[in-house]
Amino acid sequence: MEPNKNSISNNFKTDLSASLVVFLVAVPLCLGIALASGAPLFAGVISGIIGGVVVGLISGSAVGVSGPAAGLAVIVLAAIQDLESYPVFLAAVVVSGIIQILLGIARAGIIGYYFPSSVIKGMLSAIGIIIFLKQIPHAFGYDADPEGDLEFFQPDGENTFSELVKMLDFIQEGAVIIFIISMSILILWEMQFMKKIKIFQVIQGPLVVVTVGILINLLFKGTDLYIDETHMVSLPIAGTFSEFIDQFTFFDPNSMLNKEVLILGATIAIVGSLETLLCVEATDKLDPLKRITPTNRELIAQGTGNIFSGMIGGLPITQVIVRSSANIQSGGRTKVSAVVHGLLLLVSAVFIPNILNLIPLSSLAAILILVGFKLAKPRLFLTMFSAGRSEFVPFIVTVLGIIFTDLLIGILLGLTVGIFNILYNNFSKPYVIEAIEENGNKKLKLELSENLTFLNKASIIETIAHLPDDSYITIDASRSHFIHPDIMEIIDDFKKNAEFRNIRLEIYGFDKEHDNPMKTLRRVTKQA
C-alpha cells in the first residue's frame, strides 16, 4: 500500500520549512493591516497568532492559513472611529465570531460552492497582480502605503498606479541593492539544479533572503546606503514579560448587546465569511493534492478564532490567500505549517522582536513579488482566453474589478457577469429543435436538455407560442435529468392548448424517475 500523502508524518519536514516562509510573509502583513485598520500594531500580531494556532487546529483546511483580514481594514478603521472605544469594537469582533459559528452550524458554508471557477481564478490572478504592483514601491525603499493593503485607493492618498510614479522621487539605493540581491537569490532557488541539492531542499530561499538582507544593511551602516528603521519590520517591543502582557486589550462584554455593536458584528461576520469561503475555494484549487475543505467547519473555525481574537485585543480573522498561496508554493501540505507559523509569531513577539525589526522591507518585497507572480502567471490568461468567451469574460471582469476597486466588489462584478451568462445560455439552449420525417410524416422535434429550471421558462413559452398550428410536434424529455415544476406546468398547459390549435402532440420521457444521487451515496456507504 502506498503511503498516505496527506499524513502529517510524511510531510512534517516540508511543512516546517513552509511555516517559516509563511511566518516571514505574515509578520509585515499583520503589522501593515493593523496600521491600515487604525488599530494598535500588536492587534495584528494577536490575530496572526490566533489565526495560525486556534483556527489552524480547528479548520479542516490542510493548506489554508488564516490571519487579520485585509478586506475588512476599511470597515475596521471606520468602526473604531465611530465607536470611539477599542474595547467596544472588540466586543463586535466577538459577536461576529458567534454569528459565524451559528452560520457554520446552519450549514451556510455551501454558499462558497456557488462561485464559478472563472471568478475564483480571476480572484487569484488579481490578487497576484496587486501584490506584485504594491510591493514595487517597497522594493525601491518607498513605504508610505502599509504592507497588507490591497485596496486600489490607498491610505496615503495615492492609488496602486499613482504610487508607482510617486516612488520615483523617493528611491533609496540601499533598498534597491538589497531587493536585487534578494530577487536573485529567490530566482536561483527556483532553478531545477538547486532543487536537486538536499541542503537547499531544507533551507528555504526566503530565509536566506531575509538573513542576507539584514547582513547587507548592517554592512551599509554609517553610509548613505543604510536603510533606517522606518523601512524595516516594526514589531512592537516589550522589555519585560509584564510589558508584553500589557499590550493585550480586553473586550467590553457589557457592550455586546448594543445595537451598533450587533450591526457591526453581523457586518464583519458576513463580509469575513464571504472572504473566507472565496479563499477556501481558491486555496483548494491551488492545493496540489486537490483536497476539498469542509466549508461549514471552516466557518466554525473562523468564528472560534474571532471570539478569541476579539476577547484579547486582536483584529477580525479570515482565511488569507496571500499566506495560503505562500504556504502551498513553499511545499506546505498539512495544517502543521499554519499552526507552526502561528507559534513562530508568538515566540518572535515575546523573545526576538529586535532581530525581526532588522529585516528590510525591500527583502520581503522580493519574497512577495515572487508569490504574486506565481498567482498571476501569463499562461493562466492564455488558458482562460482559449476556454472561450463564457469563461474569459467573467475571469477578466473579476481581475479588473478587484484591481481597480477591492476584493468583494471585484468578485461581485465577476459573479454578476457569470450569472448573466448563465441566464443567456439558459434562455438560448434549453432544447434542440429540428424538423424530421418519420413514417412519411413531417414533424418538429423538441429535444429537451439535461436540466431545465425556472430560468428556462421564457424560452420554452416563447417557442411554444410560435409553433405552427395544424402540425405534428414531438417533445422528447428522455435525456432530461431534472425538470422544474414550472416547466412541467407549461407542458401540461400546452397539451390542452394543442387541441384548440389542431396540433398533434407526442410527449415521452416525462414519466421516468431518477434516484437522488446523495441518497444513493449514503445507501452505498452504509452498505459498505
**Ordered DSSP codes for 41-57:** HHHHHHHHHHHHHHHHH
Domain count, the chain: 2
Instruction: State whether 318 and 443 are in the same domain.
Output: no
AA identity, residue 475: I
For the chain, report the end-to-end CA distance as a whole number of angstroms.
Answer: 20
Looking at per-residue pLDDT, the higher value among 482 and 117 belongs to 117
Residue 421 lies in a domain: no
Pairing label, strands 451-452, 317-319: unpaired
Residue 154 lies in a domain: yes
Cβ burial 141-155 (10 Å sphere, 16+ → b, else e): bbbebbbbbbbbebb
Instruction: State whether 75 and 186 are in the same domain.
Output: yes
Instruction: State whether 348 and 492 are in the same domain.
Output: no
CATH code (residue 462): 3.30.750.24
- Quickly count: other Cβ atoms within 10 Å of residue 263's Cβ: 13
Instruction: State whether 236 and 311 are in the same domain.
Output: yes
Mean pLDDT of the chain: 88
Q: 485: domain range?
A: 429-508
pLDDT at 449: 78
Residue 75 lies in a domain: yes
Give the integer Cα–Cα distance in Å for 64 and 420. Answer: 31
* 8 A C-beta contact, residue 166 and residue 158: yes
Per-residue pLDDT band for 130 (boundaries 50, 70, 90) equals very high
Instruction: State whether 354 and 441 are in the same domain.
Output: no
* Beta-carbon-side half-sphere exposure of residue 223 (alpha carbons within 13 Å): 11
Beta bridge partners of 438: 441
Residue 526 lies in a domain: no
Percent of the chain with pLDDT strictly greater than 90: 59
- Quickly count: other Cβ atoms within 10 Å of residue 271's Cβ: 19
pTM for the structure as a whole? 0.82
Given the C-alpha cell 498571476, which residue does it identify? Answer: 376
Instruction: State whether 477 and 391 are in the same domain.
Output: no
With vertex at residue 151, the alpha carbon angle to CA 150 and CA 156, rounded to the nearest 5 degrees, is 105
Give the integer Cα–Cα distance in Å for 24 and 114. Answer: 33
Give the integer Cα–Cα distance in Å for 54 and 47. Answer: 10
Instruction: State whether 166 and 273 are in the same domain.
Output: yes
**How is residue 368 written as a grid cell?**
512577495
H helices, E strands: number in the chain: 23, 8
Percent of the chain with pLDDT strictly greater than 70: 94
Given the C-alpha cell 498567482, which residue does it identify? Answer: 375
Q: Quick one: three-class SS letters along 97-111?
A: HHHHHHHHHCCHHHH
- Of 15, 23, 13, 12, nearest to 206 by C-alpha is 23
Instruction: State whether 168 and 40 are in the same domain.
Output: yes
Query: What letter would DSSP give residue 145?
Result: S
pLDDT at 523: 54
pLDDT at 514: 44
Residue 417 lies in a domain: no
pLDDT digits (tens, 9 = 90+) for 386-423: 988 889 999 999 999 999 988 889 999 999 998 888 77
